[in-house]
Amino acid sequence: MSTKQLNVGIIGAGRIGKVHAETLAFRLPEVRTLAIADVNREAAQALAARCGIPTVTESSAAIFANPQIEAVLICSSTNTHADLIVQAAQAGKHIFCEKPIAHDLGQIDRALAAVEQAGVKLQIGFNRRFDANFARVRQAVVSGEIGTPRLMHIVSRDPAPPPVSYIRVSGGIFLDMTIHDFDMARFLIGDEVEEVYTSGGVMVDPEIGKAGDLDTALIVLRFRNGVIGTIDNSRQAAYGYDQRVEILGSLGSIATANCYPNQAVVSTGTEVRQDLPLNFFMDRYTESFASEVRAFVQAVREDQPTRVAGIDGLVAVVMGLAARKSYDEHRPVRLDEVR
């Protein structure tokens, strides 16, 4: 393993860019962030000042042109991801990119081809794979602790829907929300999904429906190995961020509960209660965000494969497109119909 610091650049100083910049600055001494780029220069300057980043630019080209920068973190809006991956690969930079790579399969193919041609590493930001609870579920499957998996249920409900302005450009619920659950399903079972069936509706906000999207969905997955999975999504859960998984196997089951800000339980003569779950992904998945970046850095420094490859980003989008096709056509859809 290299003992020198890895020099990186960050593209995007928004919410997730801030998370990753702070992880690199305060938790990974083996990394040095040399530059950050954002069209909002003021946001980039504020983040640079907090994290000790010496160079601020409005152009990603300046990061790609810097010969000292060995790797880039793409944290900008989804519509920029594919082009930035291509540019980074052509510049010889290793790449960490937030999900999804793109909403269009042709753009994803182009990005992945550029990565392969350049021989650089690519990791997609499916941070939930690095969550300790879900990693324990995966361990139970791999080790045979619960026997042969038969059923899987994923619950993923947000505390409140995003603005309709975001929904109009997000690609819809299956590509901006369920995409994490599609990746988790493949990761936890360790096999590929062949077919999806979607039932959904607009039950939270009629404006979401007017924007062409859904806010409530149930998706049935059929894996090649016979496992049946379900994904339960809602844009709103009144009690907070609901993130649970259960897998039933031939020898037993394993399940994860929600995470809470504390473990205190209040018991009175009329009720037993505890505080609400951690309120959203920035709180619930704090450690997994740090762990995924640490894993990317380790893969680059040790010249090892990344733990979430480009193909994982591609398959999750294929599943999202199949889920929407299933809803629109009121029938099960095989993934090979989409891809």
Q: Tell me which of 85, 120, 155 is where a domain ends.
A: 120
Q: Does residue 302 sit within a domain?
A: no
Domain encompassing residue 44: 6-120
Q: What is the pLDDT of residue 2?
A: 59
| Number of other CB atoms surrounding residue 99 within 10 Å | 20
pLDDT tens digits along 92-148: 999 999 999 999 999 999 999 999 999 999 999 999 999 999 999 999 999 999 999
Kindly state the DSSP code that residue 53 receives in the 8-state scheme.
-
3-state secondary structure of 99: coil
What per-residue confidence (pLDDT) applies to 282? Answer: 75
Quick one: 328 and 182 in the same domain? yes
pTM to 2 decimal places:
0.95
**Identity of the residue numbered 140:** A
The pLDDT confidence band at residue 183, using thresholds 50, 70 and 90, is: very high
**Is 304 contained in some domain?**
no
Task: Tell me the average pLDDT of the chain.
Answer: 96
CA nearest neighbour of 74 among 119, 7, 120, 14: 14
- pLDDT, position 316: 98
93/142 same-domain check = no
| Residue entry with tokens 């429906």 | 209
Domain annotation covers residue 253 = yes
Residue 325 sits in the same domain as residue 227:
yes
The predicted structure's pLDDT at residue 57: 97
In tens, the pLDDT along 7-35 reads: 999 999 999 999 999 999 999 999 999 99
* Euclidean distance between CA atoms 33 and 232, whole angstroms: 39
One-letter amino acid of 92: G
Instruction: Dig out the tokens for 195 from the structure.
Output: 């077919």
Q: Are residues 215 and 320 in the same domain?
A: yes
Q: State which of 100, 120, 140 marks the end of a domain.
A: 120
Question: Does 299 reside within a domain?
Answer: no
pLDDT (0 to 100) of residue 162 = 94
Are 95 and 154 contained in the same domain?
no
Domain boundary among 90, 120, 150: 120
Residue 3 has pLDDT above 70, yes or no: no
292, 154 Cβ separation under 8 angstroms: no
CATH number of 334's domain:
3.30.360.10
91 and 238 share one domain: no
61: three-class secondary structure by DSSP: helix
Q: What is the pLDDT of residue 164?
A: 95
pLDDT at 339: 87
pLDDT tens digits, 212-254: 999 999 999 999 999 999 999 999 999 999 999 999 999 999 9
> 114 with 252, same domain?
no
Q: In this structure, are 91 and 203 located in the same domain?
A: no
Q: Is residue 290 part of a domain?
A: no
On whether both 99 and 223 belong to a single domain, the answer is: no
Rounded Cα distance between 109 and 115, Å, is: 10
Do residues 73 and 191 share a domain? no
The model's pLDDT over 296-320, given as tens digits with 9 standing for 90+, comes to 999 999 999 999 999 999 999 999 9
pLDDT given for residue 4 in this prediction: 86
278 plus 152 within the same structural domain:
yes
| pLDDT above 60: residue 1 | no
User: Is 70 domain-assigned?
Assistant: yes
* pLDDT, average across residues 75-87: 97
Residue 306 lies in a domain: no
Q: Structural domain tally of the chain? A: 2
- Predicted confidence band at 280 (pLDDT cuts at 50, 70, 90)? confident
**Residue 223 placed within a domain:** yes
Do 234 and 327 reside in the same domain of the chain?
A: yes
Question: What CATH number corresponds to the domain at position 85?
Answer: 3.40.50.720
